[in-house]
Amino acid sequence: MPVRRDKDGNIIEETTRLDSAAADESTRLVTDSSDDKSTAPASSPGADTTVVIGASAAVDDEMTRAIGAPSVDPAAGESTPLGGPVVGWLVVVKGPGRGNFVPLGYGRNSIGRAPSERACLNFGDTNISRAHHAAVTYDPRGRKFYLTHGDSDNLTYLGDRPVLSVEELPPFAHISIGETVLRFVPLCGDEFDWQDGGAGD
């Protein structure tokens, strides 16, 4: 505890009081997954205290984007990374990435391994082209899904048939691309579309 002498030479202890509730409220803890326990210097008495454990502002921002972003409510008209609400999914049921899925949005969903593809299937199947192997398109006016083959030399199959032109994609159909088999799971269709409004309408 710091000490000082008053004008008469008496020793006086200086204390700093910080209400525990105020301390809890004014303390911001920033952390990441590392084990580094470095701590920032204490701030002046009465000011907000910041404790930093193994993280930088950049890491904090990245973690917020990865796990702290608020969920999107499509019914409220907010956009997902697809550019609109989810209308269905492609689920990997066979091959590399089995058990994973990718969401589908309004319009054309290009399929490939590249991160730029709207339906990115980068699960280790190198027989899938990086870009434009195939596409699943949702038409909100007709409320139907369609499958087309893209630019790949490796064919796309709907069930056991090669896709050589535009094919209507029925619910729960199987799509084979490379060594991967996808099960198509629709959300939108005749009975529901986001343009209808609430799910109970």
DSSP conformation letters of 25-56: HH-EEEE-SS-----PPP--TTSPPEEEES--
Query: Once rounded to an integer, what is the mean pLDDT over residues 39-62?
Result: 39
87 with 27, same domain: the answer is no
75 occurs within a structural domain: no
Supply 193's token pair: 């579309």
Cα–chain center distance at 86: 13
Q: Among the three residues 25, 46, 67, which one is the final residue of a domain in this structure? A: 67
Please tell me the pTM assigned to this model. Answer: 0.60
Distance CA 86, CA 60 (A): 28
59 with 107, same domain: the answer is no
74 occurs within a structural domain: no
pLDDT at 9 exceeding the cut of 50: yes
Q: Among the three residues 67, 100, 122, which one is the final residue of a domain in this structure? A: 67
The helix or strand, by DSSP H or E, that contains position 126, with its residue range, turns out to be none
73 occurs within a structural domain: no
Mean pLDDT lowest among 27-41, 66-80, 122-136: 66-80
Q: Any residues with CB less than 8 A from the CB of 198 and at least 6 apart, and which?
A: 75
Q: What is the CATH number of the domain that holds 171?
A: 2.60.200.20
136 with 43, same domain: the answer is no
104 with 51, same domain: the answer is no
Enumerate the β-bridge partners of residue 153: none
Render pLDDT for 97-130 as a digit per residue (tens, 0 to 9): 999 999 999 999 999 999 999 999 999 999 999 9
Residue range of the domain that includes 104: 80-194
pLDDT at 4: 62
24 with 96, same domain: the answer is no
148 occurs within a structural domain: yes
DSSP one-letter string for 54-109: S--HHHHHHHHHHH-SPPP-GGGT---TTSS---EEEEEEESTTTT-EEEE-SEEE
pLDDT at 162: 98
Cα–chain center distance at 26: 31
62 with 85, same domain: the answer is no
88 with 52, same domain: the answer is no
Is the pLDDT higher at 145 or at 38? 145
Query: Once rounded to an integer, what is the mean pLDDT over residues 15-34?
Result: 42
Name the domain count of the chain.
Answer: 2
38 occurs within a structural domain: yes
